[in-house]
A and B are shown apart, each in its own frame.
Chain A
Amino acid sequence: MSADEPLLLRALRSAPETLALAPLEPVTVAVLDSGIDGSHGLLRGRVVQSFSAVISQGRAVMEPTDPAANNDRYGHGTAVASILAKLAPNAKLVDLRVLGDRALGTSAALVAALKFAIEQRFSVINLSVAASSELAQSLHLLCERAYRQGQTVVAATRNMPLADHGYPAELSSVVSVDSVAISALYAVHYRRTHPIEYAAAGANIEVAAAGGGLSTATGSSFAAPTVSALCALWLGAFPGLRPFEIKSLLKAFALVDPVFDDRFSAL
């Protein structure tokens, strides 16, 4: 292996599951969700920073919170974070709480948190939430900026039958993820004819429960962190990989999802 060899070619020779056992550089992964229970046994010491979106003088701002405390009111973010922590030992989790006590204002919170994550240059940004199309333009601009800065945004698709798949998952500058009923931990499916390009295990996944203990979770929300973990592993082993290279690696190691394969699309 030559040091001058392009990163992508070197990365292509390393299966993701083997990387998890190798020495890796730490990679910051921002989790925009309902908060993380940093006191949970499976997450203790893994959450390095914690912030919560609050409305101040009519606008959403990120306020620091204690990363070692339980900042999760719903348990969703803790579940997502525990998948990331398990699959990517080098992931340094940054808790960005955007799902608050009140339903109102969450759009502003999501945009503020994503902007914050981009400004802070967190390497990977996991969004297991899907916003409505009214945020499409704001999220598009932010995700373009993240892409150009070399940050990888991973977004889960939504599971409601609406006109779109949810934002930012609809955007081509992000890695969009659906769930599939497979059990292999690091496996990813590729869907070349679908706007949501990738799918990972998302059924009955064992996760940490906020407040302690374990639970199981199902849905695209819990498939996205598998892909974010893969990004963290590759970036830890090959710092400097760009988002398009990460997408190429995902495709290179992915299985073709038969449901979305071109060969079946004409049926």
Chain B
Amino acid sequence: MNDHEAFERLLRVDSQQPVAAVLRLLVELGLSVCGGDEGSLLLLDPSADSLVFAAVVGSASSELVGQSVPVGSGLTGLAAVTGQVQLGAPTFALGGAARDGHSPRSVIAAPMMLAEQCVGVITAVAFDSAKRFTEAHVRLYAQLATVGAVLIGQQRALAVTETADPETLSAQRSIAQSISRLTSQKPEQIASLAAMLRALEALSLGDAR
């Protein structure tokens, strides 16, 4: 899978579209601010329970794009599972020597959370032995990942609207307007309305769940 296929299949956007460009920009921005060597955007492939490299900035770009990382391993997987930014460092033997001289010296992995679900991870990697990302970088990446998640959420909402037929769209608009009128004129009934809609949803989707 290349970057075009990754964006198309996992985000339903063309890799040349502005959404993909802005997501790449977030990776570049983070990397330039924190001074890392390599940055990437990985998108969650729920069917394979893996994260797929969709965009990579830095030395290994062409090799990594399209490759998968299992959610059940590594710092990116941990970020996806915990919904928290993870800051990693290399492992040292008890004597103090580095276990692997070629491994990253510092790694940040920030999950893109959409309605409490992880849709991808933004990472930064430094190979310089003197380089250590800080908590300030963690805060920056938390913000960048949140912007990325909002962008993906809007893209998904837009995709739903674009694929719906006019009749369905009109019905959806009508339902939204009714709910809006009811909640503004009868705010005391919001709780019972929510319960009624949940019951209706359970009734309608009961067989599918």
User: With an 8 A cutoff between CB atoms, is A219 at the interface?
Assistant: yes
**A160 x B71 contact (CB < 8 A):** no
Partner of B142, one of A41, A103, A160, A203: A160
Residues in B with CB closer than 8 Å to A181 are 135
User: With an 8 A cutoff between CB atoms, is A106 at the interface?
Assistant: yes
**B143 x A219 contact (CB < 8 A):** no
Asked whether A161 and B146 contact (CB < 8 A) given A41-B94, A74-B77, A103-B80, the answer is yes
**B90 x A215 contact (CB < 8 A):** yes
User: With an 8 A cutoff between CB atoms, is A132 at the interface?
Assistant: yes
User: With an 8 A cutoff between CB atoms, is B138 at the interface?
Assistant: yes
User: With an 8 A cutoff between CB atoms, is B93 at the interface?
Assistant: yes
User: With an 8 A cutoff between CB atoms, is B68 at the interface?
Assistant: no
Residues in B156-201 with C-beta less than 8 Å from chain A:
none
**A213 x B94 contact (CB < 8 A):** yes
Residues in B with CB closer than 8 Å to A130 are 82-84
User: With an 8 A cutoff between CB atoms, is B116 at the interface?
Assistant: yes
User: With an 8 A cutoff between CB atoms, is B29 at the interface?
Assistant: no
Residues in A with CB closer than 8 Å to B8 are none
Size of the chain A interface, CB-CB below 8 angstroms: 39
Instruction: Name the residue in B71, B118, B135 with the highest tally of chain A Cβ atoms < 10 Å from its Cβ.
Output: B135
Asked whether A219 and B81 contact (CB < 8 A) given A160-B111, A160-B146, the answer is no
Choose the segment among A16-24, A94-102, A243-251 that binds chain B (4+ C-beta atoms closer than 8 Å): A94-102
**A73 x B73 contact (CB < 8 A):** yes
Give the complex CA separation of A161 and B70 in angstroms.
26
Partner of A102, one of B72, B132, B142, B146: B72
Partner of A158, one of B71, B84, B91, B92: B84
Chain B minimum-CB-distance residue to A204:
B132
**A213 x B91 contact (CB < 8 A):** yes
**Smallest beta-carbon distance B53→chain A, Å:** 17
Residues in B with CB closer than 8 Å to A103 are 44, 49, 71, 80-81, 118
User: With an 8 A cutoff between CB atoms, is B23 at the interface?
Assistant: no
Residues in A50-76 with C-beta less than 8 Å from chain B:
73-76
**A74 x B92 contact (CB < 8 A):** no
**B84 x A74 contact (CB < 8 A):** no
Asked whether A160 and B83 contact (CB < 8 A) given A73-B73, A101-B72, A203-B135, the answer is yes
User: With an 8 A cutoff between CB atoms, is A232 at the interface?
Assistant: no
Residues in B116-149 with C-beta less than 8 Å from chain A:
116, 118, 132, 134-135, 138-139, 142-143, 145-146
**A162 x B113 contact (CB < 8 A):** yes
Q: Is the interface of B mostly helix, strand, loop or mixed?
A: mixed
Give the complex CA separation of A162 and B143 in angstroms.
10
Residues in A with CB closer than 8 Å to B80 are 103
**A161 x B142 contact (CB < 8 A):** yes
**Smallest beta-carbon distance B168→chain A, Å:** 28
**A102 x B49 contact (CB < 8 A):** yes
Give the complex CA separation of A134 and B77 in angstroms.
22
Residues in A with CB closer than 8 Å to B146 are 160-162
Instruction: Name the residue in A161, A179, A181, A211 with the highest tally of chain B Cβ atoms < 10 Å from its Cβ.
Output: A161
User: With an 8 A cutoff between CB atoms, is A39 at the interface?
Assistant: no
Give the complex CA separation of A130 and B84 in angstroms.
8
Residues in B with CB closer than 8 Å to A219 are 84-87, 135, 138
Partner of B78, one of A76, A133, A204: A76
**Smallest beta-carbon distance B150→chain A, Å:** 11
**Smallest beta-carbon distance B190→chain A, Å:** 18
Partner of A215, one of B74, B84, B92: B92
Partner of A159, one of B44, B72, B81, B85: B85
B residues sitting closer than 8 Å to A (CB atoms) are 44, 49, 70-75, 77-78, 80-94, 99, 110-111, 113, 116, 118, 132, 134-135, 138-139, 142-143, 145-146
A residues sitting closer than 8 Å to B (CB atoms) are 34, 41, 73-76, 99-104, 106, 129-130, 132-134, 158-162, 179, 181, 202-204, 209, 211-219, 221
Could you jot down 27 A-B contacts, CB within 8 Å? A41-B94, A74-B77, A75-B78, A76-B78, A99-B81, A99-B82, A103-B80, A103-B81, A129-B82, A129-B84, A130-B82, A130-B84, A133-B116, A160-B84, A160-B110, A179-B135, A181-B135, A202-B135, A203-B134, A203-B135, A212-B93, A213-B91, A213-B92, A214-B93, A214-B94, A219-B84, A219-B86
